[in-house]
Structure 1
Amino acid sequence: MEALQEVAHIAGRPGLFRIIKPGRAGVIVESMDGKGKREMVSVNAKVSVLKDISIYSEEFNKSTPLSEIFTTMREKHGEKVDFDTKNASQDEFFTFFGEIMPDFDQERVYSSDIKKIIQWYNLLSTSMPELFEESKEEEPEVKEEAPKAKKKAKSKE
């Protein structure tokens, strides 16, 4: 999921943004909400690239990258996660996310984080479906050669 390097979340703003081009004064981003609005984001804004985000695990100093979470969500829920993020309780969020990542740290991962992950997954699934296509590395084909028929040497008599 190298394409996550091009997608960012900006603190204080809803949704995700595609990084178009970095500049001296900041970063040019395009909203992924379907409007495609481009704007310059200041250097002072807190921009988090999705490739660098990971979820805390119960094991000390261990976390799971967001790309692995998205892959598991794709395997378990398909193209869209049907989960009512508006009316769900904290326990429902934790139960749902426990199916995706059983060892997440419930003290450091909040229900609001899980809500964002679900919303991001659904947004990326619709706006960047190529992100979830399995990268098929082309391996060189090794053809087994059929044993060559030995030619009988004709003896001169």
Structure 2
Amino acid sequence: MSLDKILSIGGRPGLYKLLTQTRTGFVAESLLDGKRVTVGMTNNVSVLSEIAIFTLKEELPLKTVFKKIQEKENGGTTAIGHKEDKIKLEEYFFEVVPDYDEERVYPSDIKKVIQWYNLLHKNGITDFEVDPEESDTEEE
């Protein structure tokens, strides 16, 4: 499953898998507990494939950040948890994305990235290969 079908819903913990669309919104299933929820158009929803991390040069797609974490951890879960203190989180993230913009990427963002990566890994969603079109724009 690609990150195009994985959602973050404002005010709700964890990530959700998009199941179907309805007239007034859509139905999603929690990756935490498997419960289904109906989400209206008024909810703040982000698709993981559309999220990017600020670096000093450009915006790095979340998929690329997940791929770098996966390479660092040899395909396993992260060495630190998302509840670690600010300094440890920043040190870890600096190893993964050395040129991330420290002024625009907050510790809460790093916590989310680590938590989301581990949740995706736990649910068997580990295909973070970057599309050829995306890698062309990164090299430029």
Which interval holds the TM-score relative to the shorter structure?
Answer: 0.7 to 0.9
* Higher-RCO chain (CA-CA 8 Å, sequence separation at least 6): 2
Percent identity, please. Answer: 39
Q: 1:153 maps to which residue?
A: none
Q: 1:132 maps to which residue?
A: 127
Q: Shift in Å at residue 134 of structure 1? A: 6.0
In the alignment, the residues of structure 2 paired with residue 7 and residue 84 of structure 1 have an alpha-carbon distance, to the nearest angstrom, of 21
Q: Deviations over 1:52-91 (max 9, x none)?
A: 00001112xx200000011111110131102143242x22
Q: 2:136 maps to which residue?
A: none
Structure with bigger gyration radius: 1
- CA contact 2:82–2:112 (8 Å) conserved in 1: no
Amino acid of the structure 1 residue aligned with 2:77: K
The yes-or-no answer on 1:20 pairing with 2:13 is no
- Gaps in structure 2 of 5+ consecutive residues: 131-140
- Gaps in structure 1 of 5+ consecutive residues: 136-157
Q: TM-score, normalised by structure 1?
A: 0.76
Q: CA RMSD in A?
A: 1.7
Q: 1:101 maps to which residue?
A: 97
Q: 1:151 maps to which residue?
A: none
Q: 1:83 maps to which residue?
A: 80
Q: TM-score, normalised by structure 2?
A: 0.85
Q: What SS does the aligned partner of 1:19 have?
A: strand
Q: Deviations over 1:115-157 (max 9, x none)?
A: 111111011011024x33769xxxxxxxxxxxxxxxxxxxxxx
